[in-house]
């Protein structure tokens, strides 16, 4: 019972597939029997007629429309290759190749319909029904399929053929999705993938510096992956896509018009299209109708040479199109084979009859078109005579000058034949199958041919190595070389391109006008990166090329020019000896040194005169020397700063001024102590001698020296180039430690304050010592200068920092020199009569009398206060008179004054008169 059930099942399957072989599949075909059968899928038509089937009756097969002459030539190249192999004595001797070729009509449904006929016989053979029937008379299995053309059709066919491991070699399907060997196990091709085409298309756009394009693709497995790869390449090259749409040959006219409107309204002038000829044809027709001639088209290989687009009436719109094409190959004898086509000679090729009718616009006897014409379904055509000359008409069928797809078909057939030859010549033990076995050429199966094709490696007729590796065999796509030694290379000769409108210049297709040198591209909110506004580079930045994304910063020693197109070297500035300001400061410093040296010379020359002696001659010499050092230290601030000058100038200035102020301080304090000392004069002279004065000067100066030593040890100053200022490099001194500089100036100001205190207190000493008044005034100037110096120092920059300090040094030094010494020099040189011992003594005595009078006045005031507390009996206060004589011990009595004699005090040859009286008005007693 089980045996009979199994038999019935196999019988039913056999009947079913026998029906498939006999009646299923496209009626129109080209076929020839042979020992081994090859399948073929070609787009003999561009599409199918649109028909609305309401299923009221049995559905009919859709009709194919629009004859494809190039597709028929591709079919002829397969037949030519098979005939050439069958006639070869070296390739597959004693083996005859047959074929079964169907029309896919460039649609998936027709392609699958044809592929089912290939699969059906293979399925029957796989059932092993020899034990039940004699099947040797059946049609042999299809061991390989050449086709299809479109990627969408090939994808669907590959899914079906892959189930049965039937090798499929496509000659025109370039979709990169078909490179997935896990999904499409038996698919191979003799055309590069769209990945290289997309890269090359993006490279062309980049080459012509376009950044604003329109992308259009077929809504199928060819267009979508191709445009996706193209978009990725555009993104990496910073090129923007303004419009991205999918199209199909079956979209309605309203949609085509809307798409044309969007293209016309777009500012992008370049249109990149990944589509087949039938898919792009409706859009091209609409653009031609509108006469849109200001666009540049980039065509993928699928439609670049399509006869649907390459028409004279489309030239005004499509002229200047840049398209990709496969590298052409040469097929010897193919030209003659194409010219021999004739309906009477090609009984096995049913496509020849329609080709003849379409070529000569006639109909053959017994043609289905004749019946349609009688029924009025088609326009009337004359009867074909059969004597028409194929060489006398212009048709894409005979365009054999650039055989690209036809050559790919030729290579695909020879690849299958070479794989069969390898099986035929296989040595047992060295085969590709289990234990090194070989396949039987007489019973070869599709999966065995697939295995052999995967290991195929041979040289074709034009010397190219053919090897199925990742689905790509050819090395060039148009002018884009993908296997260049130095990497992928695009080579374009611009002089050979005639753009649309007969222009020779490259058209402009950018979202924004290019930015000139000196500017950069600025982002516009809400716009793609390719849409920008040109922004001028900031100061200190430049751009030396057009469309710069960013401005480059000038080096530290450079600055941008007025146009920001380049950089020039900055001007180096410092307080130079040669500039007017530096010369003026140097002259004042030298003048100060000369004046101080002159005063020192005067003091040395008149060192034994009273005015020099009484002004503390030794300290005056030291003071004048320190002033020379002060003036000289200002010269170190002029000139290009070096490390050694930076380390020397502040200590030289600080120590010189402290030495100067210390001398004035000790000198002023000595005078004050001499005239206001309350200790005996001998004891005072003992403790306030010259040695102690110099010791104090040394100690005061030593503190400043130690501040400088610590400063130079821990944070020494150094030369510094300041690049922060526009167009100028200021060479200045980095002080190392501003705190140390603060201590140096602060200590100097502290000594100045103490000196000012003593000078202010000594301002009423004898006339010869009125230098205390001038010292007070000089200290006030010193304070004003250095208090003003601090904010000026920190608010200036560059060479003006040094200039401010030089001015402060010179102003302070000149004030000290003028206030302390100019009056004495004036007396010594111009008023020698005042430079005598008597003048000095009179001045001293006068100061003593004034001091005694003040003391007496204070005592008298105290006495009156005491007498007023005892009683008010006196009517008048006593009248007193004091008279002194310094050259004797005599003192005039009050009676002398009452007798009208004026008291007199005599000092040698000089005489000083002094009269003091104290009177109080008599007050009446209280009544």
CATH number at residue 588: 1.20.1070.10
The predicted structure's pLDDT at residue 481: 62
- Is 453 in the same domain as 525? no
Residue 918 has pLDDT above 50, yes or no: no
- Could you give the CA distance from residue 150 to residue 74 in angstroms, rounded to a whole number? 13
- Please indicate, yes or no, whether residues 836 and 717 belong to a single structural domain of this protein: yes
Q: What is the pLDDT of residue 845?
A: 57
User: 3-class SS at 145?
Assistant: strand
Give the total number of structural domains in the chain. 4
If asked whether residues 707 and 837 sit together in one domain, one would say yes
Residue 910 CA neighbour count, 13 Å, CB half = 14
**Residue 863 predicted with pLDDT over 50:** yes
Residue 228 shares a structural domain with residue 256: yes
CB 78 within 8 A of CB 40: yes
Regarding whether 442 and 339 lie in a shared domain, the answer is yes
pLDDT reading at 907 higher than 70: no
Picking from 889, 363, 821, the residue whose alpha carbon sits closest to that of residue 627 is: 821
* Distance in angstroms (rounded) separating the CA atoms of residues 591 and 576: 18
Q: Are 445 and 524 within one domain?
A: no
- Nearest by Cα to 250 from 493, 94, 47, 444: 47
The residue ranking higher by pLDDT, 339 or 799, is 339
Give first-to-last CA distance, the chain, whole Å: 177
The reported pLDDT for the residue numbered 254 is: 92
Question: Does 339 fall in a domain?
Answer: yes
Q: Mean pLDDT over residues 253-262, rounded?
A: 93
Residue 927's pLDDT is 37
pLDDT of residue 843: 58
Say if residue 117 is in the same domain as residue 201: no
At 741 the pLDDT is 83
Assess if residue 490 is contained within a domain: no
Task: Decide if 874 is inside a domain.
Answer: no
- Per-residue pLDDT tens for 54-77? 677 777 778 888 899 999 999 999
Q: How confident is the model at residue 712 (pLDDT cuts 50, 70, 90)?
A: confident
Query: Two tokens at 927?
Result: 């009544």
Whether residue 823 is found in the same domain as residue 711: yes
- Share above pLDDT 90 across residues of the chain, in percent, rounded to a whole number: 20
Q: Domain residues for 167?
A: 29-49+63-191+332-366+384-467
Report the distance separating Cα 170 and Cα 150, nearest Å.
Answer: 9
How many Å apart are CA 316 and CA 845, to the nearest integer? Answer: 124
How far apart CA 172 and CA 670 sit, in angstroms, is 115
Q: Across residues 586-593, what is the average pLDDT?
A: 92
Pair (704, 616) in one structural domain:
yes
pLDDT value, residue 411: 92
Q: For 668-690, what is each residue's pLDDT tens digit?
A: 766 666 555 444 455 455 445 67
> Would you state the structure tokens that stand for residue 113, as one six-digit string?
């319909």
Are 183 and 206 contained in the same domain? Answer: no
Secondary structure in 3-state letters for 150-165 = CHHHHHHHHHHHHCCC
| Per-residue pLDDT tens digits for 800-823 | 788 888 888 888 888 888 888 888
Longest CA pairwise span in the chain (Å): 186
Range of weakest confidence among 177-186, 624-633, 732-741, 787-796: 787-796
Residue 793 located in a structural domain: yes
| Residue 56 backbone phi and psi in degrees, to 5 | -75, -20
Q: Specify whether 821 is located in the same domain as 776.
A: yes
What is the model's pLDDT at position 782?
Answer: 79
Q: What pLDDT is attached to residue 883? A: 39
**Poorest-pLDDT segment among 20-29, 507-516, 890-899:** 890-899
Helix, strand or coil for residue 240? strand
Q: Which of 630, 650, 795 is nearest to 734 (CA)?
A: 650
The neighbour count for residue 838, using CB atoms within 10 Å, is 13
Query: Is the pTM of the predicted complex or chain greater than 0.75?
Result: no
CA 570 centroid distance within chain: 24
Give residue 905's pLDDT.
39
Pick 287 or 757 by higher pLDDT: 287
Contacts of 831 (CB under 8 A, 6+ apart): none
What does the DSSP 8-state code read for residue 222?
Answer: T
Average per-residue pLDDT in the chain? 78
* 544: pLDDT strictly greater than 50: yes
Mapped onto helix, strand or coil, the DSSP state of residue 720 is strand
Q: Are 175 and 216 contained in the same domain?
A: no
pLDDT at 721: 82
DSSP 628-685: HHHHHHHHTTSSS--HHHHHHHHHHHHHHHHHHHHHHHHHHHHHHHHHH--S-HHHHH
CATH number of the domain that residue 229 is part of: 3.40.50.2300
pLDDT, tens digit, 9 for 90 and up, residues 212-244: 899 999 998 888 888 899 999 988 888 899 999
Helix, strand counts (H, E) of the chain: 27, 29
Q: Is residue 55 part of a domain?
A: no
Half-sphere exposure for 789 (CA within 13 Å, toward CB): 23
């Amino acid at each position: 019972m089980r045996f009979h059930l199994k038999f019935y099942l196999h019988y039913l399957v056999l009947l079913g597939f026998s029906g498939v072989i006999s009646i299923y599949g496209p009626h129109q075909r080209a076929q020839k029997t042979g020992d081994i059968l090859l399948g073929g899928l070609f787009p003999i038509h561009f599409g199918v007629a649109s028909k609305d089937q309401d299923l009221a009756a049995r559905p009919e097969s859709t009709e194919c429309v629009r004859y494809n002459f190039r597709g028929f030539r591709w079919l002829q190249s397969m037949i030519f290759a098979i005939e050439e192999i069958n006639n070869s004595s070296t390739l597959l001797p004693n083996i005859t190749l047959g074929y079964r070729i169907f029309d896919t009509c460039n649609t998936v449904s027709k392609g699958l319909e044809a592929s089912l006929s290939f699969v059906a016989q293979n399925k029957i053979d796989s059932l092993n029904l020899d034990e039940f029937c004699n099947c040797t008379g059946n049609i042999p299995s299809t061991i390989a399929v050449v086709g299809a053309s479109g990627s969408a059709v090939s994808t669907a066919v590959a899914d079906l053929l892959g189930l049965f491991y039937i090798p499929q070699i496509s000659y025109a399907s370039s979709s990169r999705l078909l490179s997935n060997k896990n999904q499409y196990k038996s698919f191979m091709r003799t055309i590069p993938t769209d990945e290289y085409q997309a890269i090359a298309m993006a490279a062309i756009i980049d080459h012509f510096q376009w950044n604003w394009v329109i992308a259009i693709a077929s809504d199928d497995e060819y267009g979508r992956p191709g445009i996706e790869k193209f978009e990725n390449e555009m993104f990496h090259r910073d090129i923007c896509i303004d419009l991205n749409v999918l199209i199909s040959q079956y979209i309605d006219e309203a949609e085509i018009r809307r798409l044309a409107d969007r293209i016309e309204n777009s500012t992008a002038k370049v249109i990149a299209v990944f589509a087949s000829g039938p898919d792009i044809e409706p859009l091209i027709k609409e653009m031609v109708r509108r006469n849109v001639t200001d666009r540049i088209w980039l065509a993928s290989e699928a439609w670049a040479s399509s006869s649907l687009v390459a028409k004279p009436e489309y030239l005004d719109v499509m002229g200047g199109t840049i398209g990709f094409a496969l590298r052409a190959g040469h097929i010897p004898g193919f030209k003659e084979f194409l010219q021999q086509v004739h309906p009477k000679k090609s009984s096995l090729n049913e496509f020849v009859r329609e080709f003849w009718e379409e070529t000569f616009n006639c109909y053959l006897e017994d043609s289905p078109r004749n019946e349609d014409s009688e029924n009025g379904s088609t326009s009337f055509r004359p009867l074909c005579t059969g004597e028409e000359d194929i060489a006398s008409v212009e048709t894409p069928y005979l365009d054999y000058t650039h055989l690209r797809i036809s050559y790919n078909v030729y290579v695909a057939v020879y690849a299958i034949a070479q794989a069969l030859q390898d099986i035929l010549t296989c040595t047992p033990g060295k085969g590709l199958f289990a234990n090194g076995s070989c396949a039987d050429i007489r019973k070869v199966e599709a999966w065995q041919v697939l295995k052999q094709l995967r290991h195929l490696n041979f040289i074709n007729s034009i010397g190219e190595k053919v090897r199925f590796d990742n689905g790509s065999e050819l090395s060039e796509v148009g002018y884009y070389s993908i296997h260049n030694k130095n990497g992928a290379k695009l080579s374009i000769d611009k002089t050979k391109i005639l753009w649309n409108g007969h222009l020779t210049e490259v058209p402009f297709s950018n979202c924004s006008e290019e930015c000139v040198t000196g500017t950069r591209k600025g982002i516009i909110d809400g716009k793609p990166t390719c849409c920008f506004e040109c922004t001028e580079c900031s100061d200190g930045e430049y751009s030396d090329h057009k469309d710069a994304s960013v401005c480059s910063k000038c080096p530290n020693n450079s600055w941008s020019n007025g146009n920001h197109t380049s950089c020039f070297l900055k001007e180096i500035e410092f307080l130079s000896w040669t500039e007017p300001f530096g010369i003026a400061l140097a002259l004042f410093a030298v003048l100060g040194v000369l004046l101080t040296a002159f005063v020192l010379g005067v003091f040395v020359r008149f060192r034994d005169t009273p005015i020099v002696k009484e002004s503390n001659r030794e300290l005056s010499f030291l003071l004048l020397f320190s002033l020379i050092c002060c003036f000289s230290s200002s010269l170190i601030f002029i000139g290009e700063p070096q490390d050694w000058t930076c380390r020397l100038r502040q200590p030289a200035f600080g120590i010189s001024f402290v030495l100067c102020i210390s001398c004035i301080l000790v000198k002023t304090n000595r005078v004050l102590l001499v005239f206001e000392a309350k200790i005996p004069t001998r004891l005072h002279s003992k403790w306030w001698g010259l040695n102690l004065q110099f010791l104090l000067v040394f100690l005061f100066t030593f503190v400043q020296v130690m501040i400088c030593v610590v400063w130079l040890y821990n944070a020494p100053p150094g030369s510094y180039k300041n690049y922060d200022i526009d167009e100028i490099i200021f060479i200045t001194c980095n002080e190392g430690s501003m705190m140390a500089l603060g201590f140096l100036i602060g200590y100097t100001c502290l000594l100045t304050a103490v000196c000012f205190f003593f000078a202010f207190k000594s301002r009423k000493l004898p006339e010869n010592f009125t230098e205390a008044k001038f010292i007070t005034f000089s200290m006030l100037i010193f304070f004003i200068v250095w208090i003003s110096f601090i904010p000026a120092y920190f608010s200036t920059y560059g060479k003006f920092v040094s200039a401010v300090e030089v001015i402060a040094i010179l102003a302070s030094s000149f004030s000290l020199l003028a206030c302390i010494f100019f009056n004495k020099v004036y007396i010594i040189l111009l008023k020698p009569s005042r430079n005598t011992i008597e003048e000095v003594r009179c001045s001293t005595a006068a100061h003593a009398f004034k001091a005694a009078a003040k003391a007496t006045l204070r005592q008298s005031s105290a006495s009156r206060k005491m007498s007023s507390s005892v009683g008010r009996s006196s009517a008048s206060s006593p009248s007193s008179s004091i008279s002194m004589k310094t050259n004797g011990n005599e003192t005039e009595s009050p009676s002398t004054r009452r007798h009208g004699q004026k008291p007199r005090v005599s000092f040698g040859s000089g005489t000083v008169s002094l009269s003091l009286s104290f009177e109080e008005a008599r007050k009446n007693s209280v009544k």
